Amino acid sequence: MPIDLIIFDCDGVLVDSEVISCRAHADVLTKHGYPITSEQVLIRFLGVSEKDARRMVEQEIGRSLPDDLESQVNAATLQFYASDLQPITHVAAAIAAIDLPKCVASSGTPEKIHHGLTCAGLYDLLAPNIFSASQVARGKPAPDLFLFAAAQMKVAPELCLVIEDSVPGVTGAHAAGMTVLGFHGGSHCPPGHAERLRAAGSGLTFDDMRQLPELVRRIAADVAVG
């Protein structure tokens, strides 16, 4: 299939941040009377937008969370980023090796995405084509963010290849009519994660970013992979 655009998720695909983000969410939610561990955050909210995660918690507890909850989570996340964040291994070389337009479509806030990519040394490789779920009505697993990113890049959805690590992300990209590669090489990915990504609509999964340039080449050339 022709590929005119590569759309990268951010957390867990470009930066190895999911464990850090889950720790920040767990700390803040527990402080506000919703006891939860990092592992539980990962299971429940991986790939879910901040807005949708908040709505899920509020429905469960029957009350509103603080208006500045997102700011509190961002502050905790950025503090952890400064000391602990690393890029996904080999992702910078993979990005550089793929000679196609690229963008980022992330459930994170613009501030979080910018800070994460900057801390990991990836921002200049992808800016300014960086899009957040805060720019659309519905986050993943809805297709809105992927369709928005494609429209901003002036590329038809069927010509987009999405790299995702979460079931909501794969579901949303598949619903947008895009081809999806499921990445399960982040430190947060549990056993069996590749199977979950395939069940959600990823035609192929991989766990090493050194594989990505060749996978892209073979998909673009319509060569069987897997």
CATH assignment of the domain containing 33: 1.10.150.240
131 plus 43 within the same structural domain: no
Tell me the CATH number at 201. 3.40.50.1000
The pLDDT value recorded for residue 92 is 98
Q: What is the pLDDT of residue 82?
A: 84
Q: Do 49 and 147 belong to one domain?
A: no
- The helix-helix angle for 110-119 and 69-84 (nearest 10°) equals 0
Domain stop point among 68, 84, 100: 84
DSSP characters for 155-188?
--GGGEEEEE-SHHHHHHHHHTT-EEEEE--STT
| Type of residue numbered 48 | V
Domain for residue 112, yes or no?
Answer: yes
Phi, psi of 104 (to 5 degrees): -115, 135
Asked whether the beta carbons of 181 and 209 are under 8 A apart, the reply is no
CB distance 177 to 158 below 8 Å: yes
Specify whether 123 is located in the same domain as 12: yes
- CB atoms near residue 221 (< 10 Å): 11
Task: Walk along the chain (226 residues) and give the pLDDT tens digit of each residue.
Answer: 899 999 999 999 999 988 888 999 999 999 999 999 999 998 898 778 888 899 999 999 999 999 999 899 989 988 888 888 999 999 999 999 999 999 999 998 898 899 999 999 999 999 999 999 999 999 999 999 999 999 999 999 999 999 999 999 999 999 999 999 999 998 888 889 999 999 999 989 999 999 999 999 999 998 655 5
Counted domains in the chain: 2
